[in-house]
Amino acid sequence: MQKIEMKTPLVEMDGDEMTRVLWKIIKDELILPYIDLKSEYYDLGLENRNATDDQVTVDSANANKKYGVAVKCATITPNAARMEEYDLKEMWKSPNGTIRAILDGTVFRAPITVKGIEPYVRSWKKPITIARHAYGDVYKNTEMIIREPGKAELVFTDKDGKETRETIFDFKGPGVLQGMHNLNSSIESFARSCFNYALDTKQELWFATKDTISKKYDHTFKDIYQEIFDKEYKEKFEKVGISYFYTLIDDAVARVMKSEGGFIWACKNYDGDVMSDMISSAFGSLAMMTSVLVSPDGCYEYEAAHGTVQRHYYKYLKGEETSTNSVATIFAWTGALRKRGELDGISELQEYADRMEKAVLQTIESGRMTKDLALITTLEDVTVLNSEDFIKEIRKTFESLQA
């Protein structure tokens, strides 16, 4: 069989631990036999990040900007334990944070739904995609512990030194204090990424904040969304037959629970952090969640939503058998290859991606799956496979689907 040719390279960001092990098997079994893979390879494994003073992460993000599409393996975000384990020069920052800062993107997370893994919420028939704003708010806050009585104020000093003040609170005793910010430019990027993604995937877009309580901060998010929608997207949405709708965050939560799914839910940074874990667990498993970072100028970075599955990796190192779910990582590859095909006009790449995803789902639906899914499936007669055999079974299904 002839391999599919590519035009533009795919930016490939390799990673750590168990997902790095899966990465190689996925390539060997599911990608390289079928595609003449053109990729620009960046090793984001922690050892190489340390050796390059993390320059490799920056280079990979710039390559993503240059070529448009990247696929990323899960990576370790170092903490004190990792400093020792890997003998690190520095506690390097989260690669995802670095990449996000360079691409200025929004993260979209969607569950991969399959027969036999039923959502815990009975009304959900279609996936719900969470779009998380990835800048500012409580993630870039300044905090203070107040130990004695005193007045707390918000002070803004303009470039001429003129001060504007608002009293936050007159403390009579101990308490806590927090200051945070966001930028119109970042909120605008967030809004455009969401509107574009809704058009791209032909799904309705919901956005919610607490603007009734936060009359300036959250209200600004609401206003920017509405302004950009009215000016730039209203007609495009009408043409495609989708809608944009704003509501209060508490109303949104109630509606999500009663909905059928099949829409994008845009969330402020903190809401998106919390709600994406809720949505992924309610749909069944963290191992079945894909994630794509979309920049306002149309760059894409695909990855699995889960981490490097450290516990399984330590078993693997001891020579024990593992049953790690590779579905989200495979879908990161198919997502990236499909997008590459779309941008370069290579329909074979898009068909390959469709067929590979179908092969993954059919394999699971036929009862062959990894342990995490076997524990929650409603199917009977299930065969639990190890990490490698699961990928090999997918290859068999894929071959059986060939013309």
39 binds, among ligand NAP, Mg ion, none (CB under 5 to 8 A by kind): none
CA distances from 333 to 266, 336, 339, 356 (A): 24, 5, 10, 10
Residues 6+ apart with CB under 8 A from 39: 9, 10, 11, 12
Q: Which is nearer to ligand NAP, 68 or 78 (CB)?
A: 78
* Residue 265 near residue 278, CB atoms below 8 Å: no
How do strand 106-111 and strand 129-133 relate by DSSP bridges?
A: antiparallel
286 binds, among ligand NAP, Mg ion, none (CB under 5 to 8 A by kind): ligand NAP
Subset of residues 344 to 383 that bind ligand NAP, contact rule: CB under 6 A = 372
- Shortest distance in whole angstroms from residue 178 CB to Mg ion: 19
Distance CA 299, CA 224 (A): 22
Q: Which is nearer to Mg ion, 218 or 273 (CB)?
A: 273
298 binds, among ligand NAP, Mg ion, none (CB under 5 to 8 A by kind): none
Site membership for ligand NAP, residue 324 (CB under 6 A)? yes
User: Which of 112, 117, 131, 309: binder of ligand NAP (CB under 6 A)?
Assistant: 309
Site membership for ligand NAP, residue 306 (CB under 6 A)? yes
Tell the burial category of 309 from Cβ atoms under 10 Å away from its Cβ (0-12, 13-18, 19+).
buried
308 binds, among Mg ion, ligand NAP, none (CB under 5 to 8 A by kind): ligand NAP
74 binds, among ligand NAP, Mg ion, none (CB under 5 to 8 A by kind): ligand NAP
Between 327-344 and 347-365, two packed helices, what is the crossing angle to 10 degrees? 160
Residue at shortest CB range from Mg ion? 273
311 binds, among Mg ion, ligand NAP, none (CB under 5 to 8 A by kind): ligand NAP
Site membership for ligand NAP, residue 77 (CB under 6 A)? yes
- Name the residues that contact Mg ion, by CB under 5 A: 273
- Shortest distance in whole angstroms from residue 98 CB to ligand NAP: 11
Q: In the Cβ-directed half-sphere of 17, how many Cα atoms lie within 13 Å?
A: 20
Subset of residues 80 to 109 that bind ligand NAP, contact rule: CB under 6 A = 96
Residue at shortest CB range from ligand NAP? 307
Q: Euclidean distance between the first and final Cα of the chain, in Å?
A: 12
User: Which of 201, 310, 350, 366: binder of ligand NAP (CB under 6 A)?
Assistant: 310
Q: Which is nearer to Mg ion, 281 or 386 (CB)?
A: 281
Site membership for ligand NAP, residue 48 (CB under 6 A)? no
- Shortest distance in whole angstroms from residue 161 CB to ligand NAP: 43
Q: Which is nearer to ligand NAP, 104 or 303 (CB)?
A: 303
310 binds, among ligand NAP, Mg ion, none (CB under 5 to 8 A by kind): ligand NAP
User: Which of 76, 110, 267, 294: binder of ligand NAP (CB under 6 A)?
Assistant: 76
Site membership for ligand NAP, residue 113 (CB under 6 A)? no
Residues 6+ apart with CB under 8 A from 116: 364, 365, 367, 373, 377, 378, 379
Site membership for ligand NAP, residue 26 (CB under 6 A)? no
Distance CA 261, CA 392 (A): 32
Q: Which is nearer to ligand NAP, 259 or 387 (CB)?
A: 387
CA distances from 45 to 69, 95, 162, 181 (A): 19, 10, 48, 33
Distance CA 276, CA 95 (A): 20
Residues of the shown chain interacting with ligand NAP in the complex, contacts defined by CB under 6 A: 74-77, 96, 286-287, 303, 306-311, 324-325, 372
